[in-house]
Every structure is written in C-alpha cells, then in structure tokens.
Structure 1
Amino acid sequence: TVSQRPAFDARAVNNDYSSQAQTKLAQGLLDYYMREKRLERYVADAVEFAIWSGEGYIVLNWDVALGREYGVGQNNEPIREGDIKFTSCSGIDIIRHPYLRKFEDRNWLIVREFVNKYELAKKYPDFQDDIINSEMTSGNLKNDFLDFYRITDSDLIPLYRFYHDKTQSVPNGRYSEFIEGGTVLFDSDIPYPEIPVYALHPGSIYASPFGYSVSFDMLPIQRAVDGLASTIQTNQEAFGVQNVLVPKGSNLDVEELSGGLNIVQYDPKMGKPEPMNLTATPVEIFNRYKELVNEMESISGINSVVRGNPEASLKSGAALALVASQAIQFLQLTQQRYVQLLEDSGTAIINMLKSYAAVPRVATIVGKMNTPYMKEFKGSDLENVQRVIVDMGNPLSKTTAGKIQIADTLLQYGFVKNSDMYFAVLQNGRLDSIMDPVQRQLMLIAQENEQMSDGIDPPV
C-alpha cells in the first residue's frame, strides 16, 4: 500500500460548474502536498510506527514562519504567507486519558515534539531564559528508548502541544504550547475545527484508547527465534575451528598439522590423528527455527511471495498472484484504516488552506494542464470546498502502465481524437491530453446550462 503513491480523488456533492472547479482545485492541492511537501513521507513513517508500536499518527499545524515572504512587519520582521507543517510520531508521543473506552472518545490530546530550544527562544523571546535553561529530564522516554542517543548537553527539548476539542464545557476549545517545568508559551482558543491529530491503529486493545498490532503477537515468537539463532551461532563461533585428537605418546606436534599440503607421519600402532567435531548442531534446532518463522508468517499475513522469496512449488503467475492477494486480503482492516488516515489528513489540508491561505498562491500547484480551471487560489476561493469529499482513488490511474491501459480503452471507444493525444500518454504517461478536453467540454456545458437557467445568455 505504502510502496505506491496514493491516488486522491475529490468528489463534489453537486455537478454544477463551481463544484467541478473546486474538485479540480482540491485534487491538485492534495497531489501537490503529497509530492512537493513530502506528505507521503510522513504517511509512510506513521504506517511504520503503527506496524511495530501499534500506533502511528500524523499531526498538522499551520506555521506562520513557512512559505515565501510577501511583506515586512512593524519591526522590519519578514511576513510570510504561512503553510502546513506535518509531523509523524508513534503513540509514545501522544498523551491521552488512559481510561477511555476507545481512542475516538477523547476530547483532548497532548502531542510531544522535540525542537531546537534556540529556535524556540527566537519564536518566544519573552520566555527566552526559561527555554534556554530547559533540559532533557532523566525520566524522558526518548532517552529510555534511544539510550545510545543520550547526551548531557542537547539543543533539543520537548515541546508539548495541548489540544482541546470544542465541547459544551469548553465551547471555543483550547490550544496551548508549553515546555517542561510548566512554562506556558502560548495559549488561545483552538484555531482548527477539530484536533489536527489523525491516528492509524491497525487494531485496538479492548476497552482502552491504545492501539494494537500483530507485531505484539510475534514478540514472544521472535524471542524464541533469537534464542535458537543465538544457540546456533554461539556453537559455530566457539567450535567452528576444529581441534584434533591424537593418541597419548604420539610424536606429532601442532606445527606439523598447521597449514595444508603437509606430509604427516604417524605410528599406526599409536593411531592416526582425527578431527574433534563439536559443531554438529542437533537437527531439531533447525527444524524448530523454521517452524517459528512459519508461525510468524501466518500471524503477520506477509507470505513468502510478498517478501520476494516464493516457495519452489509456486511457479505460475496465477498462483503467485493468488498468494499475494491473500496477503492483501489479510491486511484489509489495516489498509482500510490507512485509507481513513489519508482521507482525514486530506480533508484537514483543504480546511487549513481555506482558513489560513489569505495570500494568493501560484497556480502551478494545481498542474499546468489544469490552469484553465484555476490560475491561482487563496482561502476565499475555497469557501465552498466543504462540499468536496477527499478519499482514496484508484492507484492504477497513477502508474504509467495503468494510464496506457486506460488510454487504450479510450481509443477503443473513440475518445482519443488524434495520434498526438495517444503518443503523449506513451511518452510521459499523462492522461491530461485526453481527459482535459472532455472534462473541459462537460464543465463548459454545465456552466452554459446554469447561465441559461438563471436567464443569462451565454457567450457564443
């Protein structure tokens, strides 16, 4: 799933011209953030965290220090347009109420992030001394997990972001930033419609807000595998260089037996020297080792075909495809929650841009082939985007082979009008040359119909 770039598809509730234009804009923005802003890298990290720790998260925040400069403030400080900052983390960096029945019941979260204390002091000069003097505490879990990174003097300190949803008791929500020691750097109403922390839990621990992964089930098996591997390796390293047995009273010495191509003379009555073989590991150890590996394969659902090491009995392409599809079917729940993570993150991106993109942005983020629909955008241009749903599209349409297959189908049904359109797909895999004229014509027809229904004569 993660190995292939996800295909976002923005869908409008209505089919009017405005909704279709918003659909094209929303999809272009999501593709831009996945590609240029490296959102897919943070998504992959969240999936990796979810697999080994049971929980992976993506955190979105609007950072006014990002983006290009477009003005100067009263104190000659540069004013930037701002942009979305992405962060991925595991469950150890997410503080929540531990007695919730499920994670979705939370109405507040605290996210821990490690930042440079000098950069943070520049951002909050009123608390400069408190920030500079802040240090890693001995009880910090980062040190407990990454002991080899433990240092006495670090520029990194934990910054905590507190989010509280809009509830009846806290109607405006709450957002705060603070450091260890209780120094509150920032405090205000929550600036987002919801807590911008999106979770990927492959499974859930019953009646708790904590995630669960099949990796937990494999831990005791992996411990047994490590023990057997240690037994085998210890035996090989200790007795890999053989000793030699010689009868008592033999006149042989070590020099005569060292190296190769030596003529060794011995007294047959005393007996010949023989190797002392201590490296023979019982076959039961190797058999048990293979059994444990097969058990982990069954628990994880990652079979030999998916790992790239198919069994000798699987020779036909159909058999390989069947076994690979079984692994995908086994991980269907995780894949479904992965899609939900992308949906939530994509919707949050659109909402943040709608609220905070006050400065017009260049049209290239949408794509050159889409410039007739939207040459530039800002927050006010996205005021109706709440009618657009962002979900997972067909990844096949994002691959060159898939686009060529689609182009062949369009050619078969007569949608390809000339050879230039088709060869454009063969050369660069882009379907824009085929799809854009069709979509543009449909959008113009919808626009003309709307104008005529409003009593306006459309231009001819």
Structure 2
Amino acid sequence: MEFTNTPEEIDENIIEIETNNPWIKEGDELGAEIVDYMRSWTKYLQNCGLYQKWVKHSNYYYNNYNNAWNNNTTSIQTIGEGNRFYFMVANHLRAIGKNHISLATVNPPVFDIKAINSDADTQKASLIGNSVIDYYMHEKKLRQYMNKAVEQAWVFDAGFAVTEWDANEGREYATDGDSLRQEEKESGDIVCFNPTHFDVAYAPTRDSWQDQDAVVVRQFVPKQRLLSRYPHLADEINGAKGRMFNDDAFRNRAYNDLELQSLSDEVEIIKLFHRKTEWMPQGRFAIALNTGTLLYDSPTGLPYRTIPVFRMVFEEQINNLHGWSPINAVVPQQEALNMVNSTIVTNQANYGVQYVVAPNGSNINPNSIAGLVFLEYTGQVPPQGMNLTQTPGEIYNYRQELMVDMNRITGTSDVSRGEVPGSLQSGSALAFVASQTAQNQGPFLQNFAQFAGDIATAMLKMLRQYMPEDRTIAIFGKHQSIPKSFRKDDLVNIDRVICELGNIMTHSFAGRAQIAGELLNSGKVDAEGYLQVITTGNLQPMIEGPLEEINHIRRECEWLQDGKQPSVLQLDNHALHIQEKRKLLMRPEFRMPADNAALQIQKNIMQNIIQHQQMMSELQKGQPQIPQPGGMPAPTQQESAQASRANPAPDQQRIEQAGSSMPQMPQMPINPQTGARAQP
C-alpha cells in the first residue's frame, strides 16, 4: 500500500496548511503573530501553574522568600504580631543543587570529533576541529553558557542556550587586496545567550525536542545596538517597551524596577526559528519588537541546518517536554526545615533572657536582678529560675531527619557534600560512596553530554558555513600558547561532535586521593607528588609528565604524515615512540602500493622508527657495568664466559633437570627381517 497523494490532493493540502500556518505571513503581520505566540505561551504557563512553580523555585534557590527586590532573607527576619517571631533559612536546597550541577560542570567536557572518512586529511580536520572547540570553550566563554543552562535546568526544570552567527561580531578584515582601496568589514563570529524557560515558547507535547517545527525566543538587547543595526526603524525601536515595563517576562526580584530604568536601556525582541520542513522548505528566521514591528526577515529562510536553540534537562517527563528537576522533590522538605529552624530561633530569641519567678511578698527587689525578667505569683514556692529556653529534643531530631531525607531523595551522598561519616576511614570507601551520587544522576549526565555535543557540532558547522576568511586561534597549554590558522574548508569533513564526561572518580577529592595513592604504591610518583594531591586535590602535577610525552609523540605522528622528519633525542622514550608510530603503519591508506604519496609517508615513518631503534641500541650498549662491592674490579668478558659455562643460568638448569626427570618415551619395535626399528 502506498501512502501517497495525487498532485491535486497535494495542492489542496498545501493550500489548507498555508491558510492555518501563521508563519507564512509577511511584514508586521508576521511580527504580530510572533508576539502573540509568546504571549500565549506566558498565559499557558500561568494557567497550568508552571509560571508560579518556577518563580517559587527561583525564590527558594536564591533565598528570596519575600518576593521583593529589597527584602530578601539573607538574614534572620522578624515577622508576626509585634515582630515576636523569627524566620531563618538554612538553604540546603541550594547546596544540594550546586552539588548536582558540579557533577557536570566541575571538570571540562571532553569532545571527540567524528569525521566522515578516515583519510589523513579528514583526520587532520578532526584535530583542527578539536582545537577550535577548545578555543571557543575557553576564550569565547562558551562553556560558561553551557554551565548556566545546567543551573537553569535545576531551577526551572529546563535550561536553554541559543547559539547564533552574528555578522556584526568578530574582528575586522579587508575585503579588497588593494591596500589603497581596502574596505574594513567585520568577519562575524559565534554568539550565545541563555534565555530562561519563561522566554522559550515551543510545542510541549511533541515526542522530542528535535521534532519542534518552530521555537520562539525572547531576548533583551541594548536599545543602541538595535538603533545602529536598524536605523530606518528608529521611531519604532524608541517606542518599544523596555525590560521593566514588560509584564509577561519573568523578572528577577533582585533589583528595583523603578531605579533600574535609568541604568538599563534593554529592549525586548522576539525571534522566530522555523526548521526546514516539507511545507516550509527553506525554514524561516525573523525578529520582531514586542510591539509587533518586524525588524528582520531572513531572505534565505533559516540560515542554520537546525534550530539553534539547545535544551538541557536533568530528566525527561513522559508526557511533555518541560523536563523535571530534583528541586521538585526537596521543596517541601526545605519549607519544613525553615519552620523547624525558625521555631528554634524564635524560642531562643524570646526566652533567652532568664525568667525569675517568686511568690508575692518575697521581698526581692527587681533592681537587684537587672537584665532578667521578674515574675511574681501567689504561692509559697521559693524564688527560682524559669527555664523557657529548652527546646524539645524531637525538634532537633526532626531537623536532622529532614536534611537526611533531602540527601536520600536526591541521591546525594554525605561524602560528596563534604561530610565524612565516622564509619568510613579508607580512601577506597570514601571514593566509592562519593561516586554513588554521580551514578544516581546517570540520565542527567547523559543529557549534558548530548547537550554539549550538539552545541559544539552546531558551532563548527556555523564556522564552516559563514567564516569569510582564514582565522588564527591560540591553542593554550599549561606552559605555552601556539597560534594556529585554519580555514573553513578544513572543517568540511567533520560530521558531528560527541561529548564525553570525565571519569567519575576524578570529580571528587576522595576519588583523586585514591588514584594518587595507587600511583604512589605502584612507584609511578613520589611522596612529594602524593602530598601535593592530598593538600590541593589536583591530580594534574602527577599526570602532567606522561600526558605531555604522549601528546608530543602524537604531534610527531602528525609531522610524519605531513612529510616532516622529527629529530630523535637520547632522552626520548624510544620504546613508546616505536609503539605509537608503528600504529601509523597499520592504516590501510599508507599501504596502498600504487599511491606514491602514501609510500613516501610509509618510508618517512619507517626511517623515524629505525632511528629510534638505533638510538635505543646504542644506549643499551653504552650502559656502564655495575661496580663490584668492596672496590673489586668488574670481571672481564672471558671471565664472564667461563663463569657462565661453569654456572649455567637458573632457567637453563631447570630445563636440564626437567629433561632428566622426564619419563622415557616408548621405542618402536625392531623389524626381524632388516634388524632396524620401524619408522612411525
């Protein structure tokens, strides 16, 4: 059965789609549709309670319980009638969140370029791609945007990063080779920003984020930037609402709206990203003011291969794309913990001053007990202190149980939060317990790896598509930086980027201490290096030397493929050089008999390996003999040979002894006619 339609049916379907599709409109009509879509998103969040929930999570995360810009709870607050009650927050919710976030962000992710082919040029492109990713992650602060998206995901159930190509960014370059007629123009560069969950409108019921046809994103940009880029719309831009006058956008209560008006001129713009589909083959990209005025409509549709809005979640929900964060499970415990702490503080503050009770007529002068509270009553009991400061032990026990529950519910171990139980003494046990937190967050770490890999892939494809000229990047190491130039053609053969997270054991101090101990026991490092790891928690000094050596050998392998011949030094690890460079000869592209270039590379590699073999042989021959004890001279070669014959090696003795003790094999019978034994 064929699921196809006639041309007439297809035309009718297209007409129906175009009639109901708001993204095919033009001009300000399209701008109005973009603004209406964002407003509908805000109303949806408010009606289903997500808006209120995320605001509450943000307030709890930042100790902003009063929901006011100038009255947060970073100190103890007095509340209630007569301000007799005290409200105190011990923010374990944020501490647990930071612990989870650090699992992905404490160590930089490791990116692995997956090339289309395995030839030398493609492998070289992979190496260049890795350098480009490292440069943008560190120098362009792309890693900070990724980390911020992770934190947003913990607070708002999902975090986002928008990665775009901005033609107005980057350094200037000459567009004409004639120095007298040179025209300077920006080369363009990659830009990134982090909208909140309030500012990203999408279809929440799609099966996956990749199935989104259109995503609408709200962004706040300086007004002067818009005026410089769209001078013909100056009146509309000046009349647009600023951040402070926007009731739909989520506003951080950490500042005074009225005072910030004179400090910030940010204007709200809304961007439409529509992917390339059957009904919109080119896709669409447009920008509108919050008044509905269309600022920009891309003439080529969506200028990217995919929608450049990347989503990060701790866990997926089954029936929608809003995501789910562990913060949802610990908000009630945090509220109860606030109540218990406030009860204890209120009791101590109100009744910390000693109460003295005495019967009427006790002849006690209140002035003699100044500073205390004096109460009189009718009775015969002698004066005594009244203990009102004692808090029931059940309250303290319940407080401890709440904190334990928060750790248990979120899968957070005490060791990962810096608390060492008394029953755990060995480094192996501490490392194992600390690693359990990371293992419990397996889906989150997988989502982060996918999120980071998607951003890196999109970044390389944007550079390959839009970079107008050669670009030099600085490859920074621990001791030096190397400038390296690349062209967009160098990135053609790159297919995708896969992100891998570091070893779980290296995420915690306990894990690093265990690794350092094993290296010390095996003799790979000395006591000084081990103590440095224990005091600083940094493994880098212990592994820096071996890593530098293997990285240098890999660079030499690159030189050999480029036809260069690296020099051979006596201090080289010749066995390791030979082992790594032999791997190059295993590649089929260097075994092609009719390829002169491949044969030349093969010859170049073999020549370098032979040099290392010769150097290693010379070093072994030139090793001085071990001096004899007591100043005795070393034996000559003739004396050594005689001693060897007189005293065979232990292995040879064992072989001879084993041969003499072996049972004799049965012999073949003798032929009576010939007198010779039969041959088997």
Aligning the two structures, in what range does the TM-score lie when normalised by the shorter sequence? 0.7 to 0.9
**Contact 1:358 / 1:380 at 8 angstroms: preserved in 2?**
no
In structure 1, distance between residues paired with 2:588 and 2:473? 22
In structure 1, distance between residues paired with 2:281 and 2:147? 35
2:353 is the alignment partner of 1:241: yes
**Letter of the aligned partner of 2:250 in structure 1?**
K
Which residues of 2 match residues 18-417 of structure 1 at below 5 A?
18-71=121-174, 78-135=184-241, 136=243, 137-143=245-251, 145-146=252-253, 148-151=255-258, 153=261, 154-188=264-298, 189-258=301-370, 273-365=383-475, 375-386=484-495, 389-392=497-500, 394=502
1:4 CA displacement? 0.9
**Letter of the aligned partner of 2:486 in structure 1?**
F
1:378 CA displacement? 2.2
In structure 2, distance between residues paired with 1:424 and 1:2? 22
2:122 is the alignment partner of 1:12: no
Most deviating of 158-167 and 377-386: 377-386
SS of the residue 1:46 aligns to = helix
SS of the residue 2:433 aligns to = helix
1:328 CA displacement? 1.1
Aligned residues: 433
In structure 1, distance between residues paired with 2:504 and 2:110? 8
1:121 CA displacement? 1.7
In structure 2, distance between residues paired with 1:101 and 1:150? 39
**Contact 1:99 / 1:208 at 8 angstroms: preserved in 2?**
yes
Higher radius of gyration, 1 or 2: 2
**Contact 1:6 / 1:395 at 8 angstroms: preserved in 2?**
no
Relative distance call for 1:375 and 1:222 in structure 2 (3 A) is closer
SS of the residue 1:110 aligns to = strand
1:396 CA displacement? 9.2
1:330 CA displacement? 0.4
TM-score (norm 1): 0.83
SS of the residue 1:203 aligns to = coil
In structure 2, distance between residues paired with 1:246 and 1:2? 63
**Contact 1:58 / 1:199 at 8 angstroms: preserved in 2?**
yes
Relative distance call for 1:183 and 1:37 in structure 2 (3 A) is same
In structure 2, distance between residues paired with 1:442 and 1:124? 50
In structure 2, distance between residues paired with 1:396 and 1:212? 23
Q: Deviations over 1:344-399 (max 9, x none)?
A: 0110111011011111111534879997xx9421222222223x543326569999
TM-score (norm 2): 0.58
**Contact 1:240 / 1:279 at 8 angstroms: preserved in 2?**
yes
1:315 CA displacement? 1.8
In structure 2, distance between residues paired with 1:398 and 1:385? 30
In structure 2, distance between residues paired with 1:238 and 1:30? 59
Determine what percentage of the aligned residue pairs are the same residue: 31
**Contact 1:60 / 1:84 at 8 angstroms: preserved in 2?**
yes
**Letter of the aligned partner of 1:359 in structure 2?**
E
1:170 CA displacement? 0.8
**Contact 2:157 / 2:314 at 8 angstroms: preserved in 1?**
yes
Relative distance call for 1:342 and 1:107 in structure 2 (3 A) is same
RMSD of Structure 2 on Structure 1 (CA): 3.6
In structure 1, distance between residues paired with 2:342 and 2:501? 47
1:131 CA displacement? 1.4
Relative contact order, CA 8 A, sep 6+: which one is greater? 1
Most deviating of 114-123 and 393-402: 393-402
Relative distance call for 1:178 and 1:118 in structure 2 (3 A) is same
In structure 2, distance between residues paired with 1:179 and 1:314? 60
In structure 1, distance between residues paired with 2:130 and 2:326? 34
1:38 CA displacement? 1.1
**Contact 2:119 / 2:589 at 8 angstroms: preserved in 1?**
no
Structure 1 unmatched runs, 5+: 261-268, 412-422
SS of the residue 2:109 aligns to = coil
